[in-house]
Amino acid sequence: MKRGTEGKRRPVTIHDVAREAGVSRGTVSRVLNGGHYVSPAAQTAVNSAIRRTGYVVNRHARSLITGRSDSVAFLLTEPQERFFEDPNFNVLLRSCTQALAAQDIPLLLMIAGSEAERRRNLRYIAAGHVDGVLLVSSHSGDPVVSDLQAAGVPVVACGKPLGQRTRVSYVAADDRDGAREMVRYLYASGRRRIATVTGPADTPGGVERLAGYRETLAECGLPADDALIAAGDYSRDSGEAAAELLLRRSPDLDAVFVASDLMAQGVLDALARAGRRVPEDVAVGGFDDSPAALSTRPPLTTIRQPWDRISTEMVRMLLAMIRGEESAAVILPTELVRRESA
């Protein structure tokens, strides 16, 4: 029996779009490659024809012409398990994906939690498979930023990269001011033995939030006490361990500012085991306003990071750099969100 092609739909081509729009193939091509030297009327006609015909751009063919991949990488420099544990990464990934989708640009998730993963991902990126990188959770001393810059790859970081000698584009929430606002709030509620669980000292959030905590204690006339400071790594388990250490060192503490909501979950677990009531005995404030803040008991007072704005600005800046514009930096304000934990 001879096999036929009946019932198979022929793929829509650029010629079909041109015929539908009543313009030349060259005009359609120019619209697809940025709209240069195309009148507004022709661009509207082509875009309408694309929607009516269901034309899908052949990205491989276009990349041969433009020299671009028309895709962007979301590079997370954390172990894979941290991606699934920390809700902030998922929120940021979803928001960046949506912002790029509006430009019809796909986003590739890449995780580099080990040296081998970093080298493998950098080889892929440097080979031109993506046009730029949205870098998330960079650590001081990590060479990934300098490696990307050396390869000529546009990169925008989430948070201010530490220890970089060259200028790096980044978008960050105002970590220091957010920490100051939380500590002022705890002080205004009558708390005087205010402890903190910090983020890692090689991350911008860890450094800036601790600095804001220290500055506000001094501003309020409270003595600096290293016994009230314990370090975490942004995981729930590290928050729990840090709270246990703080309770042993300073059993009279009456508040804890925690540098992430996920760590605050662990702090609340430790306080409950120790028989401390929240907020009656110990007030707890977090940072992020992630989904974790609403799943705690009681719900968590926290500092809101504007994740949607952060992701939108990161995408905007990266696309601008891909077009050849200069690097830039944006710092966005945070907001205190009051709930029952403080």
More reliable by pLDDT, 35 or 12: 12
Q: pLDDT band at residue 205, thresholds of 50, 70 and 90?
A: very high
Q: What is the mean pLDDT of the chain?
A: 89
How many other C-beta atoms can be found within 10 angstroms of the C-beta atom of residue 40? Answer: 8
What's the rounded Cα separation, in Å, for the pair 264 and 239? 6
Residue 141, by phi and psi: left (phi above 0), alpha (psi -120 to 50) or beta?
A: left
Per the listing, tokens 């052949």 go with 58
What tokens appear for 140 in the block? 């001081």
> Given this model, what pLDDT does residue 59 score?
54
Give yes or no for residue 67 having a pLDDT over 60: no
Q: Measure the CA–CA gap between 286 and 288, rounded to whole angstroms.
A: 7
pTM over 0.75? The answer is yes
* 215-258 confidence digits (pLDDT tens): 999 999 999 899 999 999 999 999 999 999 999 999 999 999 99
312-342 pLDDT per residue, tens: 999 999 999 998 888 889 999 999 999 999 9
Q: Outline where DSSP puts E strands in 191-273.
A: 194-198, 229-231, 255-258
Model confidence at 138: pLDDT above 70 = yes
Model confidence at 35: pLDDT above 70 = no
pLDDT digits (tens, 9 = 90+) for 105-136: 999 999 988 889 989 999 999 988 999 999 99
